[in-house]
Amino acid sequence: MLLNPTPDQAFFRDNTARFLDEHVPATVLRRLRDDPQGFDDRYWRQGAELGWTPLLVHEDHGGGSISGDGLVDLTLLAHEFGRHAAPGPLAVTNVVAAALSGAGHAHQLEVLDAIVSGASVATWCHGEAAPDDQLDRLDRLATDIRVDGGDVVVSGVKRPVESGGRADHLLVTGRTGAGLTQVLIPADTPGVAIEPMHTVDLTRRFSVVTFDEVRVPADAVVGAVGRADDQIERQLQVAVVLSNAESVGALQAAFDLTVEWAFDRYSFGRPLASYQALKHRFADMKTWLEASHATSDAAATAVSAGRPEADELVSVAKSYIGDFGAELVQECVQLHGGIGVTFEHDLHLWLRRVTLNRALYGTPAEHRLRIARILRRREEAA
Q: Which range, of 8-22, 92-106, 177-191, averages the lowest pLDDT?
A: 92-106
Is the model's pLDDT at 1 over the cut of 70?
no
Q: Which pLDDT band holds residue 135 (cuts at 50, 70, 90)? A: low
pLDDT at 61: 86
Domains and CATH numbers, the chain: 7-120 (1.10.540.10), 124-220 (2.40.110.10), 229-381 (1.20.140.10)
Q: Is the pLDDT of residue 2 over 90?
A: no
What pLDDT score does 274 carry?
87
pLDDT above 90 covers a percentage of the chain that reads: 84
Task: With beta carbons less than 8 A apart as the criterion, state whether 232 and 99 touch.
Answer: no
Q: Which residues pair with 173 in a beta bridge?
A: 182
Give per-residue pLDDT as tens, 230-261. Answer: 999 999 999 999 999 999 999 999 999 999 99
Whole-angstrom distance, CA of residue 213 vs CA of residue 381: 40
What pLDDT, on a 0 to 100 scale, did the predictor assign at position 364?
Answer: 96
**Rounded to 5, what percent of the chain is helix, strand, coil?**
55, 15, 30
Number of H helices, E strands in the chain: 11, 9
pLDDT surpasses 90 at 48: yes
CB-CB contact of 230 with 180 (8 Å): no
For 322-339, the pLDDT digits (tens) are: 999 999 999 999 999 889
**pLDDT value at 71 more than 60:** yes
Give mean pLDDT, residues 273-300. Answer: 95
What are the tens digits of pLDDT across the range 162-186? 999 999 999 999 999 999 999 999 9
pLDDT class of 132 with cuts at 50, 70, 90 = low
> Rounded CA gap, 221 and 217, in Å?
8
pLDDT at 47: 97
Q: Length of the chain in residues, anyone?
A: 382
Report whether pLDDT(40) > 60.
yes
Q: What is the pTM of this model?
A: 0.95
**Residue 5 pLDDT > 90:** no
Q: Per-residue pLDDT tens for 288-310?
A: 999 999 999 999 999 999 999 99
Per the CB < 8 A criterion, the answer to whether 124 and 235 are in contact is yes
116 neighbors 98 (Cβ within 8 angstroms): no
The DSSP code for 221 is: B
d(CA 243, CA 77): 11
Q: Which of 46-60, 92-106, 162-176 shows the lowest per-residue confidence on average (mean pLDDT)?
A: 92-106
